Structure 1
Amino acid sequence: MLHDLPSISEIIASFDLAAKKSLGQNFILDLNITEKIARQGLPYRDDETLVEVGPGPGALTRGILLNGAQELIALEKDQRCLLALESLQVASKGRLRVQEADALQINFSEISLKPLKIIANLPYNISTQLLIKWIEGVAHISGLVLMFQKEVALRLVASPRSKAYGRLSILTQLRFQTHIAFDLPPSAFKPAPKVTSSIVVFKPRASHPTGDLWEAIKTVTQSAFAQRRKMLRKTLQSLFSEPEATLAALNLSPTARAEELSPDDFIALSQAYLQEAQ
């Protein structure tokens, strides 16, 4: 049934789905590409619920279904696309449920009692906001396969002492193992964006900071990277009574900059912050 559906180009033409810049839409037409993206989320397990954000005309949706998904929830806010997805919903024979929703507003923990595996070609203009939401809600996530601008993707997987390394790198890596699966050129999309895109795969860490420690990490990294070219002994003055002594006690150089510290270094620094705050 899925193979008998019109092509994505025909769906776009039939439903007049000109990509809306306001929604950050860039559609992928080639099902070989969307099946490759969907494969990054394999295996699909019975103890998780698959979720797609912003299915648009349904190219990635088809890829996920063709890879064997038995239960897929697609969240879409564009009324035009909701109509276009109806034939795909019928062809899925009960495996696809399309839900009108704004991903920025919805509570993902209420979508299913099972952990969520989210696979999405994210609109560039909200991709980082959504990722932060899922970093915070990692307890309800079994995995993520997400598309970003390559520049953002490089920040997510960056190592200390690199230009791309920053607060987002640390928060992401403390809760997920991440890697870039592959890149996509602008020509893979309609309309073609001006930048290369990357598919990033996220696997939740078995153990990660939570509670007060997590909140402390957010506070400490915020201060440390607020002026990333300044030394830590300066950027941490508002958090520690004696920042130089604290850094020295942790075997960290007071003249180091935030980009030189590893995620584990920030855990140690945040634990010291909590102790001082008691």
Structure 2
Amino acid sequence: MKIGIIGDAKRAVAWERHLRPHQIVHEVELCPSISELGNVDACFLVDESEQNLDLLLEGIHQRLNCFLVALQPTDTEKLETIYRASMEAGVHVQFSHWPTLAPATQWMMDRMPRPSYLSISRDIHYTQFMNAKNEFRHFWIDELGLCMKWMDSGIHHIEAKNVLLNDTHPSALHLFIRFDNGSTADINIYTGASSNRHKRISGSRHEILDCDAPEQVVRIGRLSTGKHLYFEKQSFDPSKAAEKAALMFLKSVQMKRETPFTPYDAYQLSLQIKQIEKRLSQYH
């Protein structure tokens, strides 16, 4: 496959390194703009600007398979347009929703599709939390996107509550989600912690999966024949996350199958974000 990478030269070179180990990639073309891109099988758009969805739409109109590497976009109207345009053009689009793309998550989702229970807690050291509102927003948006993708069910009800110190500094947020299939998920974000901690726990009738997200280590809990709970461990390399995400995208293009986080996933997430932010605003 011939791959194009659009974006800042430094980041583009880093993504080229992620692509080189894959045998299906035989050529990589780095371009500052999409208009200069030649004939390629897929395109990586490395763009954090406010115009990145416009760039993605331009790529779709050129019938390019695109992987947008950026913070999860939330513009509902543009995401709906991108979803419809990608369907019409018959191209594959992937968003860099890292909680879903992480190697440990992919393994957990394969092992336990649609868990009955999902609990996510993230504690951020208070000295590391700088870019208050925008950064905080993406913390819970990322986890909400994972819950929706993993549960793969309509949402019946969401409860949301946040705590803003002096109405400006986000210190905590709690979401409780009940899905149409009866499963539940909760998300807790806290920015005043003495140390960083990020856990994702999923459960079914048969086992518990307990994931340390930064370390990409999963503990698998089951009952022994003597009915005692015991744990095994599965480890993944966090440094390989981008390389594996790139391969998942290229395999989706090659096999003509859905990407791990699609325009439809992004659009549905944006709709729920709107509802949650409306609910949160009622408390202030």
Structure 1-normalised TM-score?
0.31
Q: Which has the larger share of strand?
A: 2
Q: Which has the larger share of helix?
A: 1
Higher RCO, Cα 8 Å, sep 6+ = 2
Q: Quick check: which has more Rg, 1 or 2?
A: 1
